[in-house]
Amino acid sequence: MPVYLQIILLVAAFIIFVALIMYFGGLAVRKACFKIIAEMGEARAFKESRAVEIQDERKNFFRIGVKNIRSKALNLLIADKIVIKTNSGKYYLDKEKLDQAKSSIDK
């Protein structure tokens, strides 16, 4: 097999590998988002008075293991304004934004 063909195949394999890693990472964040929303929905945290505490960072001294996907998912939900953080550090769901997001997914 010619060298130039080997280089092209190696680059293509690397691009496919990176794309798969990004895809599966996105699926993990999506799953964590749904899990956070489900937990907050079970707690009926739809207003500030019913806000709940959520662990937003890893409490591991050595920081060993894979990256904390849950904090990334929580930050994504806050950026989309589906989850709102109170001044006391608790979180609750914005019911209207959640319904809008669900309706856009159903389309």
Residue 63 pLDDT exceeds 80: no
Instruction: Say which amino acid occupies 95.
Output: K
Q: What is the mean pLDDT of residues 46-51?
A: 87
Q: Which residues pair with 93 in a beta bridge?
A: 83
Q: Which two tokens stand for residue 53?
A: 């505490």
Distance CA 54, CA 89 (A): 9
The pLDDT of residue 102 = 81
CB-based burial, 34-57: b 16+ in 10 Å, e otherwise = eebbeebeeeebbeeeebeebeee
The pLDDT assigned to 105 comes to 77
Question: What number is the average pLDDT over the span 73-77?
Answer: 91
- Residue 100, Cα to own-chain centre: how many angstroms? 18
Instruction: Report the mean per-residue pLDDT for the chain.
Output: 87
Q: What angle do CA 66, 70, 94 make, to 5 degrees?
A: 170
Would the pLDDT of 23 be above 90? Answer: yes
Question: 65 or 31, which is more confident?
Answer: 31
pLDDT given at position 96: 87
* Domain 3-106 listed as CATH 3.30.70: no
84 three-class SS: strand
CA atoms of 67 and 84, how far apart (whole Å): 23
Each domain of the chain, given as residue ranges in start order, spans 3-106
pLDDT of 69 reads 85
